[in-house]
Structure formats: structure tokens, C-alpha cells
Amino acid sequence: MPRSFSYSRWDGTQVGFDLDASDVLSEITDDLLYHGDLNAALRRMLQSGFRDRNGERIAGLRELMERLRRRRRDALEQHDLGGVYDDIAEELRDVVEEERAGIEQLRQQAQQSGDQRRQEIAERVAQDRSMELDLLPPDLAGQVKALQEYEFTSPEAQQKFEALMDKLRQQLMQSYFNQMSGAMSDVSPEQLARMKDMFSALNRLMEMREAGQDTQPAFEQFMQQFGDFFPANPQTLDELLEQMAEQMAAMQAMLNSMTPEQRAQLQGLAEALLEDMDLRWQVDQLSQHLQQAFPQAGWDRRYNFSGQDPLGFAEAAQLMNELGEMDQLENLMRSATSPGALAEVDTDAARRILGDDSARALEQLAELAKQLEEAGLIETREGRLELTAKGMRRIGQNALSDLFAKLTKDHVGKHEVERTGIGQERTYETKPYEFGDPFNLSIERTVRNAIQRNGGGVPVRLSPDDFEVERTETLTRTSTVLMLDLSLSMPMRDNFLAAKKVAMALHSLISTQFPRDYLGIVGFSEVARELKPEQLPEVSWDFVYGTNMQHGFMLSRRMLARQPGTKQIIMITDGEPTAHLVPGDPVPFFSYPPVKETVDATLQEVASCTREGIRINTFMLDATSYLRTFVEKLTQMNRGRAFFTTPDTLGSYVLVDFIEQKRAMRGRNRRAG
């Protein structure tokens, strides 16, 4: 049945425009090839960000941390913690003014009664109350304590004061334990008593935890009894304690950020509000336990507020929570060494602090490694991320695609074979048999020809005209060794990435388009060594001096001696030979500028390659006059070719030359046939 499709306007939420695993690997290909470290490449991608397949910029950790610091700086430069007391002082002044109005009303009511004794009593009471109000301490804690012991004349003033005390108790407890905000709406004596029992039970749990006892059964019982205090519904004691530690550390940060006078006032106010000595003791005990259990919660944090906008008590507590979340988010981003570490980010907090775009960026950054693993491109080995075989193939394809993108279609493409005849690769086409053809008989076509000629029935009688044979392509097998210069000058002159990308691309090209060909890889600097294809992504330059072409040619010649077909060496270098092996000496000889002994030893290996029919094609990057002179001697002896190129054109030169040589060899075989 035909498939049906439906279409709708894209609103930004549909799947299909996010970065996929192939895009992620493409983003880090150059970095990975240059430095040879997958984990470092992912870390740098985390730091710098990237663009998704829709071209949208995804911010990296550096940019996100700068946004976070700017957000913190703006808050500190806007606000002043002195406002914590201004609001309370203003409300206390309202209470006192309400009480003074009540005292005056008491006098007036006594005078209106006409009762002399009542007037005297009212006047005496009014004087006493007014004097008490006049003698209220200047500090807020002293005023609160004095008014708690004061006998109000005005019921309205007393009601307003009690409402203020309830609100301040609620704000104080919320500033310590914001996750209990649901239970803080009731600060009645009964609820405060129950809260005291809750803190006492929690302190016992902390003592069990410190003693190494199993706390889970006791914690479950605790949650059955006091679970309504914790609407977030923590599942373990550590989860609950970590939340409480963060909250108490935020309150401690507010105290640390105040002047000594402000801090003394707030501490005195807290003591006045929590007049129940046992409750205060339980809270202090819990604070000590939490500081021991979670020393990294930020108990020593302090902030330098320099703004003019005063903060109220509740606003200050809320801002401290936000500043704590900012610090926690920044610390996590700063210490993230892999995308998986960002899985711990509280994206809801990030969204509140930095907005939707930043939260989305963090989510996408956290998914990078997961996407690559799920696609089978990387895997974890011994705690490190490593490329899989599929990932290495994709890196080679990326390098090949990048280089091919710079070429015109006329240079490279499908490369159709122009001649058919004797060969080893089937084309799955047939032809009538001619004298001299290999007798690769196509049974199906031959029998069908006989039936068409004679009609049905058995036996089927064949004649020579019925014979059809399978066509084969004339292919020439090429054995190539790529000599890759790994000396220190390659990265110093910005040549290394281009050379390594060519190595990856050439390996991908040969393994996919010319699977019968052989490609060996030799890296050379002070000495030469064979490189396996699976090692290529992580190969880096050598931190030593020396360009030992002689050893590179020697090793390449030995590798090609075991291979059939046309043989060639492709050498990519940016320096002249400055090192060679001396028989009997394990240490390579090095000299810069080059000396005659090194040049002669290298040319002797060139002569050996020439005698064994190995052509050497040299691709020179930043060629000096001395290198040009040496390569001219090399090509004169070997009859290979030399290319003077740059990092931008190196890939085009190597790939086009390789494919054109394949064409040329096929042409020579055609003429020879």
C-alpha cells in the first residue's frame, strides 16, 4: 500500500533540526586529527560550542559561564543587603505608631467618660506605655524582644505585631530550609513544636549516619511522620541532607556578606524570633552536622553587594538561593571534563538563571558523548572515550569529503573502466564467446540461448554460438606507502593537520573505492615507525628534532617488498633530511643544517627503492631552497615526481594524483593488451 504523509508548519519543537552524531564527529574531526585526543577534542567542543545542522549557534561553556558571571555581577551591583532591616524597621514603626494611637484613644475615652478615677488610671497607663515605647532599644532584635514582653494597649497594634512576628518566623525558617516552604505557612505554637520534634529526629539520623549505621529504615519512618515538611519527596537521607545543606549554606552566605553590625542584628533577631531555646539548639546542631557532612557546600561564601536597591528579608533569602545556584552551576561547568559530566546540571535552575537558550545549550552539550556512543562511533575503554572502528571510518570519510569538496567534479568521480577483457573483478555482464576469451562461462545465459534456438525439451543441445562468457574489468593493483612527516616543524608551520587529513582521506579512499589496493603508513621524525590505520586518528607529532627520511624509505621499502602490483611511496614533508641511522649505533645521527653523510645515506635508500621498482612521489610543504635541491636529486634518481604545495592544496594534489595514476596504469595495460 502507498505510504501517506502529513505536513505542518515547523514551530521549532519538531525533531529533525538538532545535531546528530555524524554532525558532532564532523565538528571535532579537525581538532581530533590535529591533537590526536578524542577526549580533549570533546572538551574543547564543550568549551567553544558549535553550530547545529540548522546553522543555529549553540553556546559553549566559556560563553555560558560569562553569561552567568554577568548575571551575578548585575545582581550584586544592583542590590543592598541593608534593606533586610529597612522593611522590618518600617513595619515595627507602624506597630509602635498604632500603639501610640491606641494610647491616645485610651486617654480620650477616659476623658469622655467623665469618671475622674478612670481618667487618672488611663493617664498613668498612658504615661507608662509611652515611656516603654520611648525606651525601646535602637536595634531591631532589641525592639522585637522588648515588644514581645510589652503589654499592648491597642488590640490592632498587638494583632499587627503578632502577624509581623509570624511572618518573620516563616521567612527566617524558609531562609534556612526553603524546601520546607509548604510547612512554613503555619507557624503556630503547635507546628513549631512539631518542627522541633522533626529537627530532633533529623539530628538523631545524622548521628546514626556519622556512626556508619544503616539509616534507610529510620529515614523511611522519619518521612512517614514528617514527610509533609518536604514536598520535594527525597528518596534517601543523603538527598534530603544535601538539599538542606545547600539552603543553610545560602543563609550563611547572607550572614557572611553583611557588615558585622548587620550580622549581629540578624543573629539577635533570629534569637528573638526563635525564643524556644530547644528549637534554636536543634537548628544549631543540625547546622553543625551538615557542615561536617557537606564541607564543600559553600559555607564560607560571601558576596560584595554594591548597589542601591534595598532587599527585603524574603527577597534577600531568595537572591542568596539564586546566587548559590549560580555558584553551583559555574563550578559544575568549570570542572566538566566530558559531556557526561553535564548530566548533573539542574536544567530548571539553569533556565531560571540564564533563560531557555542557555538551558537548551547545556542539554545539547550534555548529549554529545551519549549521541556518539549510541551511534556506535565511540565507546568507553578503561574510563576514557575511544573511537570505534565505525568511528574511525567516519573520520576518514569526513576527511575525504572535506578534501573532495574543494575539487571540481572533472578531477575525481566514479572513474569508469574503459576496457573489458582478462581480469579478476566481475562486472556481472556477459558477452558472446570469442576465440581467445577466458572461458568464464555464464551457464544461465548459455542454456537460455540454446533453448531459444532449439525450443523446449530435453536434452538441451549446445552449440558454440550459444556460449556467453562473463565480462571482467582490467584492474591494476597498486601498493602504496604513505610517509608522513611527524617532525616538530610540521605543527610549527601549520602543516600537520593538512598532512594528517590527507592520510585519513587516502586510507578512506583506498579502503572504499580500491579495496584490492594496499596502503601502508609510515610516520617519521628522528626515526620512522609503521602506523596502523586504527592508530591514525590519535597520531600526533613527535616532540623531537630530526627528519629521518632514510629510515622512512628503508621501512617503506620493506613493507612494499611483501606486496604485489605497482609500488609507490607518497612522501609528505616540509623539511630536508637531517637525521639518518648509522650501522651499529642505536642512536640516530642528527645535524642541522644537513650534512653530506645524511644526504648520501638517504639517497642510497632512494637508489634501493628505485632498483626494486618503487616510485617516490614527494609533496613538499613550505619548501626551502635546500629541500628543493634535495628533492630534485631524489626525483632525478628515482624518476618519481615532486609537487610544491601548501596546506590548502595538499589534499587536492595527493588525491587527484593518486586517482590519475590509477587511470594512467589502466591505460598502459590497455595499450599493452
Owner of C-alpha cell 591533537: 35
> Is 411 within the bounds of a domain?
no
Task: Check whether residue 461 and residue 317 sit in a common domain.
Answer: no
Q: In this prediction, what percent of the chain has a pLDDT beyond 90? A: 15
Average pLDDT estimate for 4-31: 66
Task: Check whether residue 431 and residue 579 sit in a common domain.
Answer: no
Owner of C-alpha cell 515538611: 229
Task: Check whether residue 286 and residue 353 sit in a common domain.
Answer: no
Question: Is the link from the previous residue into 593 a cis peptide, with omega within 30 of 0?
Answer: yes
> Is 131 within the bounds of a domain?
yes
- Distance separating alpha carbons of residues 200 and 253, to the nearest angstrom: 25
**Last-in-domain residue among 276, 291, 326:** 326
Q: What is the DSSP letter of 139?
A: S
Instruction: Please give the pLDDT value at position 417.
Output: 34
Q: Residue 359 corresponds to which amino acid?
A: A
Banded pLDDT at 3 (limits 50, 70, 90): low
Three-class secondary structure assignment of 304-362: CCCCCEECCHHHHHHHHHHHHHHHHHHHHHHHCCCHHHHHHCCHHHHHHHHCHHHHHHH
The domain of 333 spans 21-78+327-387
> Is 15 within the bounds of a domain?
no
Highest mean pLDDT pick, 80-89, 264-273, 377-386, 581-590? 581-590
Task: Check whether residue 350 and residue 438 sit in a common domain.
Answer: no
- Distance separating alpha carbons of residues 374 and 379, to the nearest angstrom: 9
Task: Check whether residue 439 and residue 496 sit in a common domain.
Answer: no
Task: Check whether residue 208 and residue 97 sit in a common domain.
Answer: yes
List pLDDT tens digits, range 46-76: 888 887 767 778 888 889 899 999 999 998 8
> Is 5 within the bounds of a domain?
no
Number of structural domains (the chain) is: 4
- Distance separating alpha carbons of residues 554 and 524, to the nearest angstrom: 11
3-state secondary structure of 228: helix
Task: Check whether residue 146 and residue 262 sit in a common domain.
Answer: yes
Task: Check whether residue 465 and residue 550 sit in a common domain.
Answer: no
Task: Check whether residue 518 and residue 448 sit in a common domain.
Answer: no
Comparison of pLDDT for 189 and 613, the residue scoring more: 613
Average pLDDT estimate for 490-510: 86
List pLDDT tens digits, range 403-461: 666 554 334 333 333 333 334 444 456 788 876 667 778 888 888 888 888 887 788 88
Q: Residue 357 corresponds to which amino acid?
A: D
Bridge partners of 523? 484, 529
> Is 664 within the bounds of a domain?
yes
> Is 46 within the bounds of a domain?
yes
What CATH number corresponds to the domain at position 495? 3.40.50.410
Q: Is the pLDDT of residue 556 over 60?
A: yes
Task: Check whether residue 664 and residue 639 sit in a common domain.
Answer: yes
Task: Check whether residue 73 and residue 140 sit in a common domain.
Answer: no
* All three cell numbers of 241: 541532607
Phi-psi region of 494 (alpha: psi -120 to 50; beta: other; left: phi over 0): left
CA distances to 79, 496, 588 from 584, rounded to whole Å, are 78, 32, 10
Mean pLDDT of the chain: 80
Banded pLDDT at 662 (limits 50, 70, 90): low
Each residue of 428-457: b (16+ CB within 10 Å) or e? eebeebeeebeeeebeebbeebbeeeeeee
- Distance separating alpha carbons of residues 182 and 447, to the nearest angstrom: 89
> Is 399 within the bounds of a domain?
no
> 374 and 22 in contact (C-beta within 8 Å)?
no
Cα torsion 604, 610, 612, 614 to 10°: value is 120
**Last-in-domain residue among 282, 305, 326:** 326
> Is 459 within the bounds of a domain?
yes
List pLDDT tens digits, range 363-373: 888 888 888 88
The candidate with the shortest Cα–Cα distance to 598, out of 523, 491, 526, is 526
**Last-in-domain residue among 473, 495, 511:** 473
pTM: predicted TM-score of the whole model, two decimal places:
0.60
Task: Check whether residue 237 and residue 351 sit in a common domain.
Answer: no
